[in-house]
Structure 1
Amino acid sequence: MFVSSYSLQTNYTVMRKLLAFVFILMMASACAVIRQGEVGVKSKFGKLSPDIEEAGLVGFNPFTTRVIKVPIRTVNQEVRLNLPSKEGLTIDSEISILYSIEKKRVPFILEDVGENYERVLILNVFRSAAADITAQYMAKDMHSGMRSEIENQIQERMHESLRERGFVVERVLMKSIRLPDELSRAIERKLKAEQEAQQMEYVLERERKEAERRRIEAEGTRAAQIILAEGLVREIIELRSIEAFRELANSPNTKIIITDGKTPYLINAQDK
């Protein structure tokens, strides 16, 4: 009798713990956590609610309802794609698509496109827009300063197709462009030739400037000589001679001066 009561008590305790565990599990499964940058939409028996659940804890009936979470922050979708060029080449590329979703349009997107909206809609629109735009450009343009122009045109084409559905295409970035090997080598040779031509032009310009400097310097020297020659008139020469006589006369050293009255010639005593 004692054993039987103990067994019943033990079974009752285990049952209580099991029921508590099941209750906690049901409560946990009846709640969903929506993070910042996300919204939730309840789907009851496959029918979407028009209301949007904001970030936080959301309760629902796990037997009839589920919560679909959709990010409304900026999403970075990276795509590897072979792009056509104007001359018919195939360009291996890696492109990032930065997009976001208008919060109020989330229920419509889920109803109209479904939860796989990125694969069904965004990527397909991107592939079509990218192929249409790059086919208008030469392969070398994708590897030059025209890359930003190509990115902007792809973004605009995608935005035109997706904005009415609630998608905002923020940027399209061509992260990596790999040209065919022969074309890459040809572009490198062209760039090298252009750099050498620019270097040669710099050298020639420097030589032209140096020649111009020398010409101006020679003209200045010649002009100075002409001015000096024009200034050596007879009166100035005689004046310089008088000044030379005066300096010699004031000198304490012994000297002999031979002159014709115009130009002195000095004979030092040491020369005798």
Structure 2
Amino acid sequence: MPNPKNISRVAIGVLIVIVLVVVGFRSFTIVEAGHRGIVLQLGAVQPQVLSEGLHFVVPFIQTVVPVEVRVQKAESSQVSASRDLQTVTTTLAVNYHLEGGSVNNLYQNVGLEYRARIVDPAISEALKAVTAQYTAEDLISKRSEVSAKVKEALTAKLGLYNMILDEINITEFKFSEEFDRAIEQKQIAEQQALKSKLDLERIKIEKEQEITRAQAQAEALRLQKQEVTPELIELRQIEAQLKAIEKWNGQLPNVTGGATPFINVD
């Protein structure tokens, strides 16, 4: 029969080994790539932040909360009013990331729900503040300027909570149907005005071309008149006589007598 004392010793030894294995596993933690580790000691946030890799922690006393510090995207569609009281629906895409060395402060003050508590409200407030400075038409024509102001305002708001804004993109401005129709009618009127202007310029150019041609013809006639001399007239007459001689068939015309002679050219 086995000795009960030996059995109990073996059981205690196995239990101790199991406890040591568990303690050993819980003594180390791995922070994945693109994350930081927030150390909690008995529930209290510690000042040190763990970087990527393997780290030692005090088992059962310290725990590690992983927080992503890679670039994150937040897309939001906000309804606001322009300076001329037009309703504007703006769709904005925001890229941001958490400052790695300060995620413990963010966790302590805000928690892991930072997007719903901080990012989305900041986007809404920044958009409404900037769009209220521009008319609806200016929001379209000065899109890059509006985007720069929204980025500036949003950078300041997120910076208060140790978040870094990387980039924003205004993907769409959407207005009311009445405003869209008014813009379309204005564009049609501008196109018609441009067409009329071009037609006037074309008519003006054609008129100038006609005047230029007429002036050229008049100048040519004047020069021709200056070149007409008695010698030129006599030369033209001689040329005409030569052409008549070339056409003559050798027959003399028939002449009848009387005060007025009659010439038969048959």
TM over 0.5: yes
Structure 1: how far apart are the matches of 2:56 and 2:231?
119
2:134 paired residue number? 137
Counterpart in the other structure of 1:85: 82
Q: 58-67 or 85-94, which moves further after superposition? A: 58-67
TM-score with structure 1 length normalisation?
Answer: 0.71
The aligned amino acid for 1:122 is: V
1:1-150 maps to which residues of 2 (within 5 A)?
A: 27=25, 31-35=29-33, 37-57=34-54, 60=57, 63-142=60-139, 144-150=140-146
Could you tell me whether the CA contact under 8 Å between 2:41 and 2:63 is conserved in 1? yes
Cα RMSD after superposing both structures? 3.5
Give the partner amino acid of 1:194: E
Task: Give the structure 2 partner of residue 192 of structure 1.
Answer: 188
CA contact (8 A) 1:32 1:67 kept: no
Counterpart residue identity of residue 168, structure 1: I
SS in 2 for 1:100: strand
Say if 2:69 and 2:99, in contact at 8 Å, map to a contact too.
yes
Distance 1:246 1:162, change over 3 A: same
Matched position secondary structure for 2:141 = coil
The residue type equivalent to 2:141 in the other structure is G
Q: Could you list the runs of 5+ residues in structure 2 that have no partner in the other structure?
A: 1-13, 251-264
> C-alpha deviations, 1:94-123, integer Å up to 9, x for none?
211222333233233223332222222222
2:165 aligned partner: 169
Alignment-derived partner of residue 205 in structure 1:
201
> 2:222 corresponds to which residue?
226
Distance 1:72 1:179, change over 3 A: same
Any conservation in 2 of the 1:155–1:170 contact (CA below 8 Å)? no
CA distance, structure 2, for counterparts of residue 224 and residue 56 of structure 1: 96
TM-score (norm 2): 0.72
- 1:243 to partner: Cα distance: 6.3
Equivalences, count: 237
Distance 1:208 1:74, change over 3 A: farther
